[in-house]
Structure formats: C-alpha cells, structure tokens
Amino acid sequence: GSARTSATAPGGFLQAHAVLVSHGHFLDGGPVSAHAFASLAASPLPPPRSALLVGTNHRGVGAAVAVSRRSWLTPLGLALPDTELIDSIAQFGYLVDESGHDLEHSIENQLPFLQHLHPSIQIAPIGISSLSTMDEAERLARVLAEVVQGREVLLLATTDYAHAGGEYPEQPPAGVPLASFVRGQDEAFVVAIASGEPEQLLAAAHARGPFAPGMCGFWPTLVLMRAAQLLGLSQVTQHRYAVSIEAVPNDGATGFASFSFERPRS
C-alpha cells in the first residue's frame, strides 16, 4: 500500500531492516537477540514481508552455501518460504539443499521472534558451512544486496562468539573468571562489528590465532556486514552483549551480541 511505499528508503530498501543476532538457547542467547527484534518492533516502518536469513551450518553437511525452499514449523506455526526471493538467489548458482538445514538451529532459533514480529512473514534461509575465499564472500554479499533491492525484506545473519571453559578447547588462564575471559576475547569482534567495517572484522579474526576466527558465524557476519555496506546501512547500533553464564550458570560459556544496521538518519 501507499504507507509501505512512503516508508521505503531510496533504492527500495527499508531502513533499519538488517540485524545481526546470536543463535544460542532461548534461555541465555534469546534475551540478547530480543533487543534487536525489539528495535524492529519499535520502528515506525511497517514490518518486513519476508526475511532473508543467513545462518551457520555447524555440521558442514551439504552445499557450502545451502538455500532452503521448504516451510519451517515452530510452535507459532508454519513459516512459509518466499519462493520468489529464493528463486532470485538460486539463479546466481546457489543450490537449494535441505540437508544442511536438517538438525541446524542457527536459523530456526530466529523464527519465533520473526513470527511474533509479523505472523505472516515469509522466509528465505541460507546456511553457510564455509567459504573458501574472500571473493566468495564478496560475491554472496553482492547477490544479497541485489535481491533485497525493491523488496520489503529483513536481512538477518546470526553468529555466536567465543566458546570457552567446560569442554571447549579454549580455557581461561588460572585465576581469570570465565565470563571476564569470554568478554575479553569478544571485545575486538564487538568493536569491529559496531564499526560497520568488514576489514576490522577480518583483523579481529586473524588476531585470534589458533582459535581463529573466534566466531561460529564468521562468514554470515562478514557477508551481512558487506551487504549492509553496499546498501548504505552505515549506522550500526549495538543493542546488547552478554555471556551465557550470566544468565544460566554452566561450566562452559559463550558470548552473545545483537546489532542492527540502518541508513543514517538525516
């Protein structure tokens, strides 16, 4: 309708409709992610009709970049595929491969938030297991920036940050509290993402040494940041950062954060 058209930013992309959230459990990661979704709910713009979700394929099953074309069921009902948006991605050679999405939680955990925000929202999920080169990341970012142009689409990517303590390989030095250690390990990543500069994220990942890249959604994050850059979404807001054990005590801990990307307000 005319209200949607008038709320559309130059180039047809809705402002404030790119977010980076975590994919941890609802008990610990959920409250952190909720801050980004709350910012969308508070926006004067209409809710997006579709969401293009870029998640992590933790198991590395199937295509390196795997698109899903099926409906996803949550306790809030079916999230239907945006087949037009999915087909526009597939025409660039990205495979529809459901195997990488089976048993995968990184995208699934976002769907109840989206369904609460907009019950009839449609989805276009993309799972990334790995990308071989920066050129592959650049190409995917350019494809995503192109396919969302002129559409009322939320661009969303998901990542968690340091995993330490418990059974994880990375352990804090003696005498250093686990939550403080995780925060310290994640600080460079949070600063890099808040800068909106993909190069800073690359530098932070390289600095992690044997535990590089230090994120279980490095490629989705890098692709989203570059796509946001191409779309002119240069105003980055960090909504929340927390460590899992600050919500739910455990021997191991993970860092969670939420961000939104929007056009600078005039």
pLDDT tens digit sequence for 150-192: 888 999 999 999 999 999 999 999 999 999 999 999 999 999 9
107 neighbors 51 (Cβ within 8 angstroms): no
Phi-psi region of 165 (alpha: psi -120 to 50; beta: other; left: phi over 0): left
Residue 44: pLDDT band with limits 50, 70, 90 = confident
The answer to whether 29 and 160 have CB atoms below 8 angstroms apart is yes
For the stretch 115-151, pLDDT in tens is 999 999 999 999 998 888 999 999 999 999 999 988 8
Residue 55's beta-bridge partner residues?
Answer: 127
- The sign of the CA dihedral 86, 89, 95, 100 is negative
Q: What does the alpha-carbon distance between residue 231 and residue 220 come to, in Å, rounded to a whole number?
A: 16
DSSP letter at 164? E
Token pair belonging to 145:
């920036």
What mean pLDDT do residues 33-45 have? 89
CA angle 264-221-257, nearest 5°?
A: 80
What's the pLDDT at 57? 81
pLDDT computed for residue 47 by the predictor = 79
Computed over every residue of the chain, the mean pLDDT equals: 90
Q: Is the torsion defined by CA of 180, 181, 185, 186 positive or negative?
A: negative
Please say if the pLDDT value at position 15 is more than 70: no
